């Protein structure tokens, strides 16, 4: 599996990367905002994207909308990962086409479960 | 500022440090209020703005030594860089603020900023006074969460 981690926090990416490694996923690229993520999505074929919401330059919601409006990536699985998880914002992400949703704070096992649930494992 | 705004932050701090750092936190005394103006600050200082159905800001401060222990636990590493310390501190503040904000209505978070220094002054121009929530990690020492907020 090839995965794109998108989060403006480098420590959060390290934590997520370790969870992926524990699942045997080593082919991981990283972006620190939505613009970098869209660039990488244009250049590589990912199996899924982990996408933070609160980021500078281009936030996660804008990025998700851009991914869904491109015919090449309309079906790319995107797991949103955010700290502001009131019902309204979760609904907005689902409507915009998020495949799944992980709320911060999470324990490493929660991220693994969410990925497994997304891929029906 | 309404006292109902405070409990979500205490709960969010407990949940965040428990989930992300496997560490308990507890209250460390009464809430105090800091009027607008200059007040001293030291150690690690993180601040994040909130806008939407409420507006205001959240501040978290702790000693650098305490912060290093927290971020080592957050990262699960015994060696951390200065960049890890600042980034991790900001991200934990972001998570705490987001978890609390979710209970306050439709709130948008700004990007956290983190600074450090021995003789900093925080100049508050908020109309709303800051409520200081003293807290502690039983083994690592004190930290403060400070909240200034008003309804829009
Ligand atoms: Mg973020």
ipTM of the complex, rounded to two decimals: 0.92
CA–CA separation, B84 and B72 (whole Å): 9
CA–CA separation, A34 and A55 (whole Å): 8
Task: Give the pLDDT confidence score for residue A29 in this predicted structure.
Answer: 98
Q: Residue A13: exposed, middle, or buried by beta-carbon count in 10 A (0-12, 13-18, 19+)?
A: buried
Task: Give the pLDDT confidence score for residue B40 in this predicted structure.
Answer: 64
CA–CA separation, A8 and B52 (whole Å): 22
Give chain A's domains with CATH numbers: 2-114 (3.40.50.2300)
Q: Hey, is the C-beta of A118 within 8 angstroms of any chain B C-beta?
A: no
Average pLDDT, chain A: 94
Task: Name the residue among B87, B94, B111 with its Cβ closest to that of A83.
Answer: B94
Kindly report, residue by residue over B7-47, the tens digit of the pLDDT: 999 999 999 999 999 999 999 999 988 776 666 677 999 99
Q: Hey, is the C-beta of B8 within 8 angstroms of any chain A C-beta?
A: no
Task: Give the pLDDT confidence score for residue B65 in this predicted structure.
Answer: 95
Number of cross-chain residue pairs from A and B with Cβ atoms under 8 Å apart: 74
Kindly report, residue by residue over B63-95, the tens digit of the pLDDT: 999 999 999 999 999 999 999 999 999 999 999
Residue B100 has pLDDT above 80, yes or no: yes
- pTM of the predicted model as reported, rounded to 2 decimal places: 0.93
Kindly report, residue by residue over A59-77, the tens digit of the pLDDT: 999 999 999 999 999 999 9
Contact B18, B99 (CB under 8 A): no
Task: Give the pLDDT confidence score for residue A34 in this predicted structure.
Answer: 97
Q: Which residues contact A52 (CB under 8 A, 6 or more apart)?
A: A6, A7, A8, A9, A12, A60, A81, A82
Provide the 3-class DSSP secondary structure of residue B26: strand
Residue A98 has pLDDT above 90, yes or no: yes
Question: Which tokens go with B45?
Answer: 């200082």
In the sheet that holds A27-31, the strands lie side by side as A27-31, A2-6, A48-52, A78-82, A100-103
Mutation to test the A interface, candidates B97, B102, B114, most A Cβ within 10 Å: B102
| Residue B33, domain extent | 3-151
**How many structural domains does chain B have?**
1
CA distances from A87 to A90, A101, B99, B101, B114 (A): 5, 12, 12, 12, 29
Mean pLDDT over B98-117 rounds to: 89
Q: What is the CATH number of the domain that holds B28?
A: 3.40.1550.10
């Amino acid at each position: 599996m090839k995965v794109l981690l998108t989060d403006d926090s480098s420590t959060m990416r390290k934590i997520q990367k370790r969870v992926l490694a524990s699942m045997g996923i080593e082919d991981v690229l990283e972006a620190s905002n939505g613009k970098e993520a869209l660039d990488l999505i244009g250049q590589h074929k990912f199996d899924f994207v982990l996408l933070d919401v609160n980021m500078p330059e281009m936030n996660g919601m804008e990025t998700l909308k851009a991914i869904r409006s491109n015919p090449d990536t309309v079906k790319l699985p995107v797991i949103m990962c955010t700290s502001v998880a009131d019902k309204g914002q979760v609904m907005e992400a689902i409507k915009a086409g998020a495949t799944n949703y992980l709320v911060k704070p999470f324990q490493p096992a929660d991220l693994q479960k969410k990925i497994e649930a997304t891929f029906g494992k | 500022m309404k006292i109902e705004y405070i409990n979500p932050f205490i709960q969010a701090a407990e949940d965040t440090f428990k989930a992300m750092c496997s560490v308990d936190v507890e209250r460390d005394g009464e809430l105090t209020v800091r009027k607008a103006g200059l007040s001293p600050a030291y150690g690690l200082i993180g601040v994040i703005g909130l806008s939407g159905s409420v507006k205001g800001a959240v501040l978290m401060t702790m000693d650098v030594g305490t912060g290093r222990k927290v971020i080592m636990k957050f990262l699960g590493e015994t060696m951390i860089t200065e960049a890890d310390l600042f980034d991790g501190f900001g991200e934990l503040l972001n998570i705490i603020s987001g978890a609390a904000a979710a209970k306050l209505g439709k709130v948008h978070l700004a990007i956290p900023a983190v600074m450090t220094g021995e003789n900093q002054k925080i100049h508050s121009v908020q109309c709303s006074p800051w409520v200081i929530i003293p807290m502690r990690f039983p083994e690592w020492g004190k930290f403060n969460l400070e909240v200034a907020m008003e309804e829009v």
